[in-house]
Amino acid sequence: MNDDTNTDERPPDGEEHSSSNGRTRSGDERDRVDPDPSRDDLGGADDWEDDVPVPSDGPESGNGQADAPADEPDERTIDDLGSDVQIDAEIDEESEDGLLGGLQIDSTAEIKVPDRLVDQVIGQEHARDVVMKAAKQRRHVMMIGSPGTGKSMLAKAMSELLPKEELQDVLVYHNPDDGNEPKVRTVPSGKGDQIVEAHKEEARKRNQMRSFLMWIIIAIVLGYSLIIAGNILLGILAAGIIYLAFRYGSRGSDAMIPNLIVNTADQQTAPFEDATGAHAGALLGDVRHDPFQSGGMETPSHDRVEPGAIHKANKGVLFIDEINTLDVRSQQHLMTAIQEGEFGITGQSERSSGAMVQTEPVPCDFVMIAAGNLDAMENMHPALRSRIKGYGYEVYMDDTIEDTPEMRRKYARFIAQEVEKDGRLPHFTDDAIEEVILEARRRAGRKGHLTLELRNLGGLVRVAGDIARADDAEYTTREHILQAKGRSRSIEQQLADDYIQRRKDYELQVAEGYVPGRVNGLAVMGEDSGIVLPVMAEVTPSQGPGEVIATGQLKEMAQEAVSNVSAIIKKFSDEDITQKDIHIQFVQAGEGGVDGDSASITVATAVISALEGVGVDQSLAMTGSLSVRGDVLPVGGVTHKIEAAAKTGCDRVIIPEANLQDVMIEDEYEDMIEIIPVSHISEVLDVALEGEPEKDSLVDRLKTITGSALDKQSVSQGPSSPSPQ
């Protein structure tokens, strides 16, 4: 899941740290990079390490609870771990408004990447603060948010912040009293290996002695049988029996070697265990099946014990993404483990001989970071959620962040981070960085913001870098980014383009003339592609009370749109469309999706047009949600929808006025399509319906429903076309 590989030790603090806090730097420009200079006065992480007592030496009996309690890390010093990042490059105050936020660099090679993962996190200030607080207090955290926004990165960063000095090794011993209940011992980190080695050495010496003794006895028996008894056959038989007896007997001494199930000797930081999608055995530990269960061939039960992620995460971080996909039994066991801080290991398969074995409790004192999207929260075991809530924090991850010069500088550093992490990509030139930042703006879908779905943005960086590498280019340039944008299209984008092409081939798309009852609606596919979704309406007399007849999942939305528009119509005419049958068809809707009620102005326009027999402009597409009072409310995905309308050949597109600030269409579409912002259905009808309405017709009256709305902005005076900023 997590593709971070940074396991570097915390950097030695002292000098480097002070410079990273801007203490040794001079001048306003550099200080601007650190948003929280108050942390400058704090000490280094070294002090904090010194403050943590080293656990007492030597093996301890029991389950790890008897270990020396570690003092909480010094507040002063752990706060310092949150010191903000630096960008070791000149910053020009005058060009701060530029895409590079004033950075004076030629390529990402000039940007220093921070050593610690927590300093590499872009945005997510709240989650970052919570993670640092939780590391200090050893609290659990639940992170909910979109994929690729840094949840596992933060979890890993937390493991770097936890004190490494508390780590323990865990050994499982044979229990001479009950072979099915192996004993568990915890020892300080690094001791486990030594103990196992000492046991092996002892067993080796014992075996050497036994072999020596065996060969002496065999020699005596053979000598006796040959010289004194004169029967060599009998002597060989006796020697064979002695050999087997010794071999059989020596198995017992090997059984005394303990099984080191958790070895932290080589850990540079507190452990980080990703148990996403782990089955019960991998999460909670398991005992292997033994096919030879008797006759001296069996493997001793303590040797078959395997640790679970909860045990390997002891004193560190257990990260579980998509927490709701864990089966209920595992979630219940996880709760017990969280509560007790220890959990015995038993075989997870009932039919395996391992199920007979149950070790003493094994320590699993971890900090849990559970992650997922909103569905994960709804479907997870309520008691587990309450454990996390009761003993920790819940954080909602940001999808976007405000677009400031400082943030843009950090995005430049993000590219440098991705280049360094990949290790093979050529560095990015300044204009390539600018293009990536522009794309981050576009993907945010919100004016004045940058996207924080950085895994996807990192994908664009990697594809562009790969293209540059294939070209043997020294640097990744803007040209490479533009090529990468074409190549790294999502499945939905590819499907949407294919769909638009096919509709053109079959001439399903109508982009000119006036047709009554037919409106070009707009919908989104996935998260980042739009399609034109025509809506057709037919109004027929009904025998009884009228019905709204629509097919598929869109039926509800169509009914709601019709009921809203019928309220408006009733108010302005004698017409009661609830007494008529209204047929709505979403032409080829199976190919795309309509988010929420974003097609309701489309449905309303189609119904009014069909009712009055007035043609709708087919060179126009529209999206917007309709309130019961006729207001046009904002919807999602406007940028992608507008681009889809342009690709399909429409000349104009109606969007809710409130969405105007979200429009960030690519340059190439700017001259292809006119964007018409509206705030009321009357404006929609004015733009979409053919010709001048007859005096006192329904359309005439509807068009003038809210004089104030029309006064505010007369669309006929020339709609504004926003720039893609």
Ligand X SMILES: Nc1ncnc2c1ncn2[C@@H]1O[C@H](COP(=O)(O)OP(=O)(O)OP(=O)(O)O)[C@@H](O)[C@H]1O
Residues forming the site for ligand X (CB under 6 A): 1-4, 120-124, 147-153, 321, 371, 414, 452, 454-455, 458
Catalytic residue, candidates 156, 641, 647, 703: 641
Spatial contact of 301 and 357, defined as CB atoms under 8 Å apart: yes
Judge whether 598 counts as a catalytic residue.
yes
Q: CB of residue 67 vs ligand X: minimum separation in angstroms? A: 32
Q: Based on CB atoms, which residue is closest to ligand X, 145 or 271? A: 145
Do the Cβ atoms of 80 and 45 come closer than 8 Å?
Answer: yes
Q: Closer to ligand X at the Cβ: 145 or 426?
A: 145
Q: Can you spell out the DSSP letters for 461-480?
A: HHHHHHHHHHTT-SSB-HHH
Cα-flanking dihedrals φ and ψ of residue 7, to 5°?
-120, 25
Which residue in 521, 525, 523 sits closest to 489, CA to CA? 525
Amino acid (1-letter code) at residue 516 = P
Strand order in the sheet with 620-622: 548-550, 580-586, 529-541, 518-525, 620-622, 652-656, 674-678
Give kind and range of the element (H or E) at residue 677.
strand 674-678
Nearest to 184 by CA among 275, 68, 289, 67: 67
User: From the CB of 10, what's the least distance to ligand X, in Å?
Assistant: 19
What's the min distance (Å) between Cβ of 40 and ligand X?
A: 23
The residue (of 63 and 120) whose beta carbon lies closer to ligand X is: 120
Find the shortest distance in angstroms from Cβ 422 to ligand X.
10
223, two tokens? 């000598």
CB of 319 to ligand X, least distance (A): 8
Nearest residue relative to ligand X (C-beta) = 150
Closest approach of ligand X to the CB of residue 139, in Å: 19
CA 342 – CA 359 distance, rounded (Å): 11
624: left (phi over 0), alpha (psi -120 to 50) or beta: left
In the complex with ligand X, the residue whose CB is nearer, 80 or 274, is 274
Burial 263-282, CB ≥16 within 10 A → b, else e: bbeebebbbbbbbbebebbb
**C-alpha angle with apex 261: 257 to 262, nearest 5 degrees?**
130
Closest separation in Å from C-beta 86 to ligand X: 15
- Residues 234 and 202: beta-carbon distance below 8 Å: no
Cβ-contact 88, 115 below 8 angstroms: no
Which residue among 146, 225, 598, 625 is the active-site one? Answer: 598
Contacts of 418 (CB under 8 A, 6+ apart): 425, 458, 461, 462
Closest residue by Cα to residue 360 from 294, 263, 261, 291? 261
DSSP class of 723: -
Question: Using CA atoms, how far apart are residues 110 and 90, in angstroms rounded to an integer?
Answer: 10
Least gap, CB of 371 to ligand X (angstroms) = 6
Question: What's the min distance (Å) between Cβ of 120 and ligand X?
Answer: 6
Q: In 271-313, where does DSSP find H-type helix?
A: 280-284, 309-312
103 vs 594, which CB is nearer to ligand X? 103
Q: Please answer whether residues 494 and 528 qualify as being in contact, where contact means their C-beta atoms are separated by less than 8 angstroms.
A: no
Nearer to ligand X, 457 or 665 (CB): 457
In angstroms, rounded to a whole number, what is the distance separating the alpha carbons of residues 510 and 204?
86
Min dist CB 21 to ligand X, Å, is: 20
The values of phi and psi at residue 256, to 5°, are -80, -10
Q: Least CB distance from residue 423 to ligand X, whole Å?
A: 13
Element (H, E) at 439: helix 430-444
User: Helix, strand, or coil here: 65?
Assistant: coil
Which are the contacts of 528, defined by CB distance < 8 A and separation ≥ 6? 443, 490, 492, 493, 640
Question: What tokens appear for 311 in the block?
Answer: 């045990």
Residue whose CB is less far from ligand X, 120 or 564: 120
* CA atoms within 13 Å, Cβ hemisphere of 666: 14
The catalytic residues are 598, 641
